Amino acid sequence: MPRFRIGESAELLGVSDDTLRRWIDDGRLTAQADAHGRRTVDGAALARLATELAEGTTRPTDRPIVKESARNRFTGLVTRVVRDPVMAQVEIQAGPHRIVSLMSRESADELGLEPGVRAVAAVKATNVIVEVSA
- Tell me the pLDDT tens digit for each residue of 25-52: 999 999 999 999 999 999 999 999 988 8
pLDDT digits (tens, 9 = 90+) for 93-129: 998 889 999 999 999 999 999 999 999 888 877 666 6
**Cα(120)–Cα(64) distance, integer angstroms:** 27
The beta-strand segments (E) located in 1-134 are 3-5, 31-33, 39-42, 73-83, 87-94, 97-104, 118-122
pTM for the structure as a whole: 0.62
pLDDT of residue 54: 81
What is the structure's pLDDT at 10? 92
* pLDDT surpasses 80 at 63: no
